[in-house]
């Protein structure tokens, strides 16, 4: 029996005071790929938690970090 492979990554999310949300270019593509794999039944996606990462140049922009684990379905 094969062992399931896992991959853990962080996504930095930027939120503005008017409600706009954008993902970082570093973790965003991994999250999109993981969601696609989950939709196709190839993997499971688990959010391990989030953490406040700080404010931008003013209090109108805030950042938080989300930690995800993708597990391959064998």
Pick the CATH number of 6-72 from 1.10.10, 2.60.120, 2.60.40, 3.30.70: 3.30.70
Pair of tokens at residue 44: 């499971």
Assign 28 to helix, strand or coil. helix
**Got the DSSP string for 29-70?**
HHHHHHHHHHHTTSEEEEEEEEEEEEE-SSTTEEEEEEEEEE
- Whether 3 and 73 have beta carbons less than 8 Å apart is answered as no
Q: Which residue has the tokens 């953490």?
A: 51
Mean pLDDT, range 6-30, rounded to an integer: 90
Pair of tokens at residue 64: 């938080």
pLDDT in tens, 35-64: 999 999 999 999 999 999 999 888 899 999
Task: Provide the pLDDT for residue 23.
Answer: 83
């Amino acid at each position: 029996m094969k062992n399931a492979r896992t991959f853990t990554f962080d996504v930095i999310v930027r939120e503005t005071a008017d409600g706009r949300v954008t993902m970082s270019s570093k973790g965003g593509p991994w999250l999109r790929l993981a969601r696609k794999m989950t939709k196709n039944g190839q993997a499971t996606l688990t959010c391990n938690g989030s953490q406040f990462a700080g404010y931008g140049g003013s209090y109108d922009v805030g950042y938080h970090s989300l930690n995800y684990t993708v597990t391959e379905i064998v």
